[in-house]
Amino acid sequence: MTAAPYNYSYIFKYIIIGDMGVGKSCLLHQFTEKKFMADCPHTIGVEFGTRIMEVHGQKVKLQIWDTAGQERFRAVTRSYYRGAAGALMVYDITRRSTYNHLSSWLTDARNLTNPNTVIILIGNKADLEAQRDVTYEEAKQFAEENGLLFLEASAKTGENVEEAFLEAAKRIYQNIQDGSLDLNAAESGVQHKPSAPQGGRLNADSQPAKEGCSC
Amino acid sequence: MADVKVEVPTDSSAVIHSSSAASQPNNPLSRKLNKILETRLDSDKEMLEALKALSVFFTENSLRTRRNLRGDIERRSLSINEEFARIFKEVKEELESVNEDVQAMSTCCEEMTSRLKAAKEQTQDLIVKTNKLQGENHRLEVRAQVAQAFLAKFQLSNEEMATLRGSRDAPITEDFFKALSRVKHIHEDVKILLRTNQQTAGLEIMEQMAVLQETSYEQLYRWAQNECRGLTQETCDISPVLTQAMEALQDRPVLYKYTLDEFGTARRCAVVRGFIDALTRGGPGGTPRPIEMHSHDPMRYVGDMLAWLHQATASEKEHLEALLKQVTLQGVEENMQEVVGHITEGVCRPLKVRIEQVIVAEPGAVLLYKLSNLLKFYHHTISSIIGTSVASLLITIEEMHILSKKMFFNSLSLHASRLMDKVELPPADLGPTASLTQTLSLLREVLASHDSSVVPLDARQADFAQVLSCILDPLLQLCTVSASNLGTADMASYMVNSLYVMKTTLALFEFTDKRLEMLEFQIEAHLDTLINEQASYVLTRAGLSYIYSGVQQHSAEQGPLSLLPSMDSSSVKAAMVQFDRYLSSPDTLVMPQLNFLLSAAIKEQIFRQSTELVCRAYGEVYTALTSPANGYKDLENLLPRSPKQVQSLLS
């Protein structure tokens, strides 16, 4: 009964943004299917994937919206930022231009999401060390200056992919715990399930449940 | 023993007597003595015992006592015997009493035996009966076991019964499903009974189970319905038990459908509420801002609404998948699509009202076009979730798409008809008119937005033809009308300029090949005019046109050309001098209209081809004049340049 895959306490909404061809869809695919998609077609508009993972002992369902990187879809993809609890901002470590565009993506993300949205910067294609065009330190500094989480990952090898989604989820969970993320409000990007399934549930979440119970 | 003892002293005294008597062998005394002597005292136990007994009372060995010994012994023997007799008497009495007792026992036993016999005779019947009963008991026990097994197989336990017949609002648990599946199992198994000769039992159990099944399903349905009715929050918690309930209910299509309906209705409420909240309340603390805050920006407004609905639709589909994941029924996918369609039905009205408002506010052709593309995109995107079933949401989006498209084309036609209302005269520089450039920039914008639209290629191509004919055809007409009062060269230049601008505008976009070809064709037609005009302009100015027409009109019957008036050597000579001047600087003779041409390439082409015409004309003139039949003299002086020379000078 506890093994039922729909037994989760929270739903976190994520959005993946970044230039065309940095591997957003591949990251999502690697995360949800644990496989590398070699010939990934361009995303049309937005696509969607889910996975349940454990964060601090809580089952959390991630609902991930993968946006198209092409400029012509910007108008469409912008509408998907609202109500995201986490944003994965991706660049390609072998293409400097994708890194240079980050500030524009960040501006979009800041303007269109809520203040509590957790943004994590991901340098993808970390397996192509020989073609590296953006150093780790440089990106790390950018992330620190802007208060972003940061990881280098590879959708091809799967390295750090899991961690990227998990790190953001941990931060969101922390925000819930310390009360800075108000679950009561609509479009916080997090849904909480106050009526716990009969399966064993930890006491740890009784606190947020208190906030979320009236919804 | 006592007798022996008594005798011994007698013997010993005898011994004593005999020893003192004669020792002759025949002497009885000696014989006796011998006998005594031969007696081995220590081995004669009797003797030892006798002596031992004697020593008890014969304590004083005196004459008197010795004399009295016999008497003593006899007395003693007597007393002992008396004692003996007394004791035996006692014993006898005892024995007699024992005998009596035994006698009594014997009678008693006999009596008992007889009674037992009687009892036995009496109970014989009973024993037979008991045996029979025991046998029966055993048989019954076996039957009881069989019955127990039968019941275990074909009937529910009390607990199961209680679970199934719980109170109306009792929560459904795992046990309920176990019991329910047992009922189902029994119902199945009973069919075996029907094949045997236990048909009555089979039928009865079947009926019982059927009734039980019905009531249980009904209870399950009521519970599930209630459970679904509560799922009106944005968070939709599908409990595993509810999932199981749906799995069980699939056996009762009607109940299953009703439960799904209930679920759909509840979720529909939730989605409508969520949508309205997103429209009017926005996120926590107003970020993200409510969607309606962007209603001044139609693209953003409509885009945000549709994106929200797209996400909500995806989530609802997920919820349904969770709810129905254990259902094995055929057509679950269709069911889900149907229910998602039902769930999203509620938002159609508010969505429609808002989009209609935006469209009817006439935000301009370009925006209308963008909107229509956006709507088309979302129709495509959402239908990949809902499926192709006729969902209201899709219908609404499609309606809005059609409306926006219609309004777009209306706006284009309106623009075109306004153009035709007041036809502008071509400007002095014969360039494109203001209304032309303006319309073209509109077209450019529309095409550009089309280009960046998210609609699939084939759909785009179809749209293009319509847009192009809606804008280009009236434009062409407009140009023709406004050029109608111009002279040939002016008109041709003006038309070439206008067409050229259209062509360069279109060339930037895809799917315009056909139109471009057509424009190219029209340009060519006007180019021919311009080339001829330019050539005759040059010929006239270079003084050759007169000679050329003379040459062309001349026929052999008229005699030699040189004899014709105005074709004499001096006139020809004068013309050739003039022509020579042109040859030295051919660029000076350009029709003024050509300078107004916007495209240098076209101008160059006209220049080149008209020059070719001039060369050809000169060639004809040269051939005619050098012909001996025409009787010109001093040809070298008269025509210093060969056509080849002219050509090389001009090219």
Q: What is the CATH number of the domain that holds A117?
A: 3.40.50.300
Whether residue A7 is predicted with pLDDT greater than 70 in this model: the reply is no
What mean pLDDT, rounded, does chain A reach? 82
pLDDT for residue A112 is more than 70: yes
Q: Least CB-CB distance to B240: which of A48, A186, A197?
A: A197
CB-based contact A50 B318, cutoff 8 Å: yes
Which of residues 454 through 473 in chain B touch A, CB cutoff 8 A? Answer: 454
Q: Cβ–Cβ of B283/A187 closer than 8 Å?
A: yes
Given CB atoms, is A195 within the 8 Å cutoff of chain B?
Answer: yes
Bridge partners of residue A59, in order along the sequence: A54
The shortest C-alpha distance from A75 to chain B (Å) reads: 7
Judged by CB atoms closer than 8 Å, whether chains meet at A82 and B374 is answered as no
Distances (CA, A) of B36 to B28, B52, B53, B444, B512: 12, 18, 20, 177, 176
Q: Which two tokens stand for residue B109?
A: 């036993």
Rounded to a whole number of angstroms, the distance from the CA of B309 to the nearest CA of chain A is 10
- Tens-place pLDDT, residues A55-91: 988 888 899 999 999 888 888 888 898 878 899 999 9
Candidates B200, B181, B298; CA nearest to B250 is B181
Structural element, H or E, at residue B483: helix B457-483
> With an 8 Å Cβ cutoff, are B282 and A186 in contact?
yes
Contact A82 B283 (CB under 8 A): yes
Contact A114 B277 (CB under 8 A): no
Residues 6+ apart with CB under 8 A from B637: B573
Given CB atoms, is A10 within the 8 Å cutoff of chain B?
no
Tell me which long-range contacts B575-578 makes (C-beta under 8 A, separation of at least 24).
B575/B543, B575/B544, B575/B546, B575/B547, B576/B638, B576/B639, B576/B640, B578/B542, B578/B543, B578/B544
Q: Which amino acid is at B532?
A: N
In 3D, which of B186, B189, B193, B191 has the Cα closest to residue B211?
A: B186
Say whether pLDDT at A196 is over 60: no
Residues of B in contact with A192 (CB under 8 A): 235
The reported pLDDT for the residue numbered B453 is: 62
B382 touches chain A (CB under 8 A): no
Residue A195 lies in a domain: yes
d(CA B260, CA B248): 13
Q: Where are the domains of chain B?
A: 2-111, 160-225, 274-404, 432-521, 532-650
A2 belongs to a structural domain: no
Q: Is A6 on the interface with B (CB under 8 A)?
A: yes
Per residue in A145-178, pLDDT (tens digit) is: 999 999 999 999 999 999 999 999 999 999 888 8
Closest chain A residue by Cα to residue B284: A185
The answer to whether B460 and B383 have CB atoms below 8 angstroms apart is no
pLDDT, residue A151, reads 94
Q: With an 8 Å Cβ cutoff, is A150 touching chain B?
A: no
Q: Which residues form the domain of A158?
A: 10-208
Burial grade of A151 (CB within 10 A; 0-12, 13-18, 19 or more): buried
Whether residue A214 is contained in a domain is answered as: no
Of B274, B284, B322, which has the smallest distance from its Cβ to A6's Cβ? Answer: B322
The answer to whether B299 faces chain A, any CB pair under 8 Å, is yes
Cα distance between the two ends of chain A: 26
Q: Which of the residues in chain B have pLDDT under 50?
A: 1-16, 18-23
Q: Distance between CA A113 and CA A86 in Å, rounded? A: 9
Residue of B nearest to A71 (CA): B452
* C-beta atoms of B381 and A46 within 8 A: yes
Phi/psi-derived region of residue B233, left when phi > 0, alpha when psi is between -120 and 50, beta in every other case: beta
Residues B294, B306: contact at Cβ < 8 Å? no
Q: Is residue A5 part of a domain?
A: no
Pairing status of strand A58-67 against strand A46-55:
antiparallel
DSSP structure class, residue A205? G
- Residues of B229-244 as b/e, b for ≥16 C-beta within 10 angstroms? eebebbbbbbbbbbbb
Contacts of A199 in chain B (CB under 8 A): 240
Does residue A24 contact residue A90 with C-beta atoms inside 8 Å?
A: yes
Chain A CA closest to residue B377? A45
Q: Which of A73, A82, A193 to mutate to test the interface with B (most CBs of B within 10 A)?
A: A82
CB contact under 8 A, A186 and B278: yes
3-state SS assignment for residue B457: helix
How far is CA B460 from each of CA A48, A103, B342, B449, B464, rounded to the nearest angstrom?
A: 25, 33, 31, 11, 6
Q: Does A192 touch chain B (CB under 8 A)?
A: yes
Is A213 inside a domain boundary?
Answer: no
Residues 6+ apart with CB under 8 A from B557: none
pLDDT the model gives residue A97: 94
- Please name the residue of chain A whose CA is at the shortest distance from the CA of residue B456: A44
* Yes or no, beta carbons of B239 and A198 under 8 Å apart: yes
Query: B183: distance to nearest CA of chain A, Å?
Result: 22
Query: Which member of B235, B308, B318 has the closest CB to residue A215?
Result: B235
Kindly report, residue by residue over A37-60, the tens digit of the pLDDT: 888 888 888 888 999 899 988 888
Taking the CA of residue A78 and the nearest CA in chain B, the distance in Å comes to: 8
pLDDT at A213: 36
Looking at the predicted structure, is the pLDDT value of residue A203 above 70?
no
Query: How many Å apart are CA A66 and CA A80, to the nearest integer?
Result: 9
3-state secondary structure B514-547: HHHHHHHHHHHHHHHHHHHHHHHHHHHHCCHHHH
Cα B525 to chain centroid distance, Å, stands at 63
Asked if A79 reaches chain B (Cβ–Cβ under 8 Å), the answer is: yes
Q: Between A92 and B593, name the one with better pLDDT.
A: A92
Q: Please count the structural domains in chain A.
A: 1
DSSP code per residue over B19-54: HHS---SS-HHHHHHHHHHH--GGG-HHHHHHHHHH
Q: Give the residue from chain B lying closest to A183, CA to CA.
A: B284
pLDDT at B89: 93
Contact yes or no for B548/B620 (Cβ under 8 A)? yes
Contact B492, B530 (CB under 8 A): yes
B227: chain A residues, CB-CB within 8 Å: none
